[in-house]
Homo-oligomer: A and B are copies of this chain.
């Protein structure tokens, strides 16, 4: 009875039962989501979608993020477009056990609908967000990894269900209505991995947000579905998984083990395998600065890395921002030159800037069997013979070394400034951090 178990748990979940670290993680997840959605909002993948769909927009209730409240659409289209935007730079949150990016589908649906169902206060919003994230991650765990291996984009296939539970929670659905909402969401299995590398990858979390929002709204008007949609013989888990699913096991852990608390945030907008190198080079730069050493005086850079780093990101001379995401050498160079890796350091102009390429060309990397995927050893030799070394045992952004609130804020500002300016980004950041105490979540929308 997984469907009923999930529905019943979500309907009965109260704010007072949320551990403080879960509330903190939920706020951070929303905060990171908002920054990524603003950051992606002016990318062609998002603007093509909003241009194409504008003729279908309904009443302007819900904000398109990145427009500071100036562009609105009906909640369904806002959910789609914000859900697309937040995923474009591959910079969103990650539930590491399932590699689900949980916030996108859930927060996109919830935030868009919170502007319809006003006022939704911060606590109710967080409660619904947690219900949704738990729903999608538990469903994901139940079918992981076979489901992903077959070819499903797990973020969106589970995201539809998460979004339905979240909006259903906001709508105060009964247990049976929530079961129907889960069913209507579950029957919309959106997301093939084959679409990776195209605009459609980002479409997935956006459409999942819509799927779930639609499901919850229909269920609230007594639209019916299967009451055992997840676990039935021809239900979701059996149809989308290649192995016997583990729904019961994971539904039994609802409220006992919190997936929301395990959400992690990428520090850099590129493949996760490069993260240790960027982290290491950022730290070497600090040591160099403390010792009065200049980047111009570097003789050579060497990184000992996990073999996947060279297999996946061995591009020696990337020509633009997209190629740079697959170059560990660009990653090392920006760490040393800028002391950070934000979307600005992946701008096409930066990738071919001689200040960057001259450092990049001094770098070598070798795979070493003793190095784990989130580990690296960086060695920088200066022209005067001095050396700087850094051993990164767990890269920043891993569960062991999570992104600090400061770094999360820097990440937000770095993305948002490019779209809404420094002043706007600062205001947006403050408003998002204060999520728990707002009386009407819609009041946040106008600054995002």
Contact = CB atoms under 8 A, between A and B. Distances in A.
Nearest to A73: B58
Interface in A12-56: 45, 48-49, 51-53, 55-56
Contact of A187 (B180, B190, B223): B190
A88 B431 CA distance: 47
Contacts of A198: 180, 183, 224-226
B232 A194 contact: yes
A49 B235 contact: no
Interface stretch (A213-221, A280-288, A440-448): A213-221
- Identical subunits present: 2
B229 A195 contact: yes
Contacts of A236: 192, 194
Contacts of A187: 153, 190-192, 194-195, 200, 203-204
Interface residues of A, number: 58
A329 B58 CA distance: 49
A341 B263 CA distance: 58
Nearest to A231: B194
Nearest to A45: B223
A156 B190 CA distance: 13
A228 interface: yes
A67 interface: no
B238 A116 contact: no
Nearest to A230: B194
B49 A194 contact: no
A389 interface: no
Contact of A200 (B55, B183, B200, B232): B183
